[in-house]
Every structure is written in structure tokens, then in C-alpha cells.
Amino acid sequence: MTKLIQNQNIQPKKPLFLAWLQLRKERARLLVAIAGISFADVLMFLQMGFRGALFSSAVEFHNSLNGEIVMLSSRSRSLISLDRFTERRLYQAAGVAGIASVSPIYLNAIQWRNPENKEIWDIYAIGINPEHHVMNLPGIEANRHQLRQPDTALFNLGSRPEFGPIAQQFQAGKPITTEINERQVQIRGLFKLSPTFGINAYLVTSDLNFLRMADFRQAGLLDVGLIKLKPGADVQAVLAELRSRLPNDVKVMTREDYAKAEVAFWNASTPVGYTFDLGVVIAFIVGAVIVYQILYSDVTDHLPEYATLKAIGFRDRYLLIVVFQESLILAALGFVPGTLIALGIYRITNLATMLPMAMDLGRIVFVFVLTAIMSSFSAGMAVRKLQTADPADIF
């Protein structure tokens, strides 16, 4: 190393070149380090991707609602943990100043028979009033007049394959009739909602058709009430009035708070959110251990050279910068392939599960920062041995 420094005329203010030369000299070790960091980055990207897909898919229904305020039973916790309330509460709300309209929504899992192989799967049915603009989804708005007819429904484009090739057959112009709770139903249109970690597919129908299909449900007991305000109405003032008038067997909230409550349920009330957070931490630790082993081996192998540099006047600070720069070079080199691999896995996962796995710039930046912190932490652990390097002890 001393000869190399003499030949290249490296000065203390230029440690980056020395850091790169040290890494390049041991090509096998460099490749192992890049592979290890890439592996840790892929793990972090996947955990964050699944976590993001969990939350974004869980609130697609909530964000599609065409109304400012939502009414729920006070015992409801999430879309998969609902309780019912009487429709009288919703129509009581209709008399509050500032409210333009109210719409009942029925939700329930019902049995769907795959028309191809006759297998039965649970599908999540949404019953709406077809005379009202309840959901801001193009497929529903364009086809809700079809739901006025008995035993008709709209099928979800985002459904998983086990429900049958409904979308492909419908787009090919084939009539589709299947059984829902042993009742013949015709599919009259398509819409798009992503499946969630608790719901594999959706079906939209009218409130009357819903009660025919779900004959175990009692009319007048709702799952969600949608409240649309008049233009210019104060949302918070209407909410305060509703809360003062209605009994405590129901709760009202803004549509945005409804979506936040769903995310909070999955993040705090189920082990799923915690599992993905823990996965990111484990990936961080795995990457840190790999980088530490690589840098520690590098420092150990070059300890005589480092001691020589100290003997000829290089300060500890310069040598520490060299090691930290090695760690950051490794972080950058490992991050690029890790990101590309994660993008490929995101695409494969999306095609296989229909979950909304998507990369965004914020996640890329966050994982890069985590990678830099991970590598710097490992460098800080590895340089402890370098600080003790004494030429008198080594030679």
C-alpha cells in the first residue's frame, strides 16, 4: 500500500481513491460484499413493498366513496371486522343542515361459484343504491344503471385467478352467468379494486340484489352509511352536529379518517404490520453484519499497511475516513442491483397476487439512506481495530 501511495502521490486529503483501490484489489471480497448488500436491500424493499401494498389496498374502497362523511356502528373496527347499525340512524342524519344526501351500503362475504370449474370461493359483495353516485370508480359509474335489473352484478377486474377468467370472457363479449349463494346472477360490467390481505375479490350489486343474494342478512341493518354534503358546507360543523344528535351506537367520521382508521387497524391491531416492520429491521441487521465482516477482514488484512501509514505521519482521522468511504462505496454498489432485483420481484408479485406492489421515489431514497446508515454503522464497528494499530506492536 505504501508503494501504491508513493506511485499515485496520494495526499491525506484524497482518501477516496485509496478506499476504491483497496476494495478493487480483492475482487472476490468486493463481489461478496455487493451481493450481501444487494440481498439486504432486496429484503428491505420487499418488506416495505408488502407493507405499502397492505395499506394502499386496504383503503382503496374507502378512498372510492363519493361522500365527505361516513357512518359506522360504534363496534366496527375495519372492513373485515364490521358490525351493523339500523338505517334509522342514517336517515336521522339526513335532517342535519348541510347534508345533501345519504346512501346505505351493505357489505358481506358471500359464496361465489367459479363458472369454469364450479369451485366455490368467498367474494366480498358491496350493495349500493344504483340511483346514487356512491363510488368514484369508472366501471361502477358507467354500469350502475345495469344494477337496476334483478340478479345482476359488476365483477372486479382485480380479482385473483381462482374466481375464474370473468374479465377476459366479458371483454370478449361472452355472456357470463354464475351462482352466488346458489342464486343465478349475470355479470353486467367490470370495475377495478385491488384485493387486500383479507379480501380476495369484490362484487358490486344493488342493495336489493344484495339482500336477495345474501338472504341471511336482515334488511335495514347497514354496514356503512355514506353522507354527502352540500357545496360549501363545513365538514367539521356537520360532524359536530351529527355527534350531538346521534346516540352512541354509531360513530361518524370524515372519509379520510375512515381510511386512517383502517390503516391503524392493520398496523396496530393485527400482527401483519408489525411483521413487515420487523422484517425491515432484520434485513438491516443482516446487511450490517455482512458489511462488518467484509470491512473487518479488509482492515485485518491491511493492518500492517495501516500501521505503516500511521508511522509515516498519517493521522487516525485519515485512515478512519478511508474505511468509512469503503463502506459508502459498497453501499452504493450494492444498492443499484438490489433496487433492480426488487423492481423485478415487485412486478412478479403484482402479476401473481394482484396486490398493488409499486416502487416509488420516496421508498428508494429511504432504503438508500438505510443502506448508507447500515454500512456506516458497520464501518464504525470495524475501525475499532484500526485505531489500535501501532507500528511498534506490529513490526
Q: How far apart are CA 381 and CA 292, in angstroms?
A: 7
- Residue predicted with more confidence, 388 or 288: 288
- Residue predicted with more confidence, 341 or 313: 341
| Torsion of the alpha carbons at 294, 296, 301 and 307, rounded to the nearest 10 | 140
* pLDDT above 50 (res 5): no
Cα separation values, 332 from 21, 103, 260, 373, 381, Å: 16, 53, 35, 12, 19
* pLDDT above 80 (res 69): yes
Quickly list DSSP for 115-175: TTT--EEEEEEEEE-TTS--B--HHHHHHGGGGGSTTEEEEETT--GGG-SHHHHHHTT--
Q: What is the pLDDT of residue 388?
A: 60
The predicted-structure confidence for 332-357, as pLDDT tens digits, reads as follows 999 999 999 999 999 999 888 888 88
* pLDDT above 70 (res 201): yes
Q: What is the pLDDT of residue 9?
A: 46
Prediction pTM value: 0.81
User: Average pLDDT for residues 367-392, to the nearest whole number?
Assistant: 77
Q: Residues of the chain with pLDDT > 70: what percent?
A: 90
Q: What is the pLDDT of residue 314?
A: 66
The predicted-structure confidence for 166-186, as pLDDT tens digits, reads as follows 989 998 989 999 999 889 999
The predicted-structure confidence for 9-48, as pLDDT tens digits, reads as follows 444 445 566 677 777 777 888 888 888 899 999 999 999 9
Instruction: Look over the chain and give the mean of its residue pLDDT values, rounded to a whole number.
Output: 87
The predicted-structure confidence for 87-106, as pLDDT tens digits, reads as follows 999 999 998 999 999 999 99
Q: What is the pLDDT of residue 324?
A: 83
User: Average pLDDT for residues 350-373, to the nearest whole number?
Assistant: 90
* pLDDT above 80 (res 114): yes
* pLDDT above 70 (res 1): no
Query: How many residues make up the chain in this entry?
Result: 395
User: Average pLDDT for residues 256-285, to the nearest whole number?
Assistant: 88
Cα separation values, 23 from 100, 382, 388, Å: 68, 15, 22
pLDDT band, very low/low/confident/very high, at 7 (cuts 50, 70, 90): very low
Q: What is the pLDDT of residue 2?
A: 44
* pLDDT above 80 (res 328): yes
Q: What is the pLDDT of residue 270?
A: 78
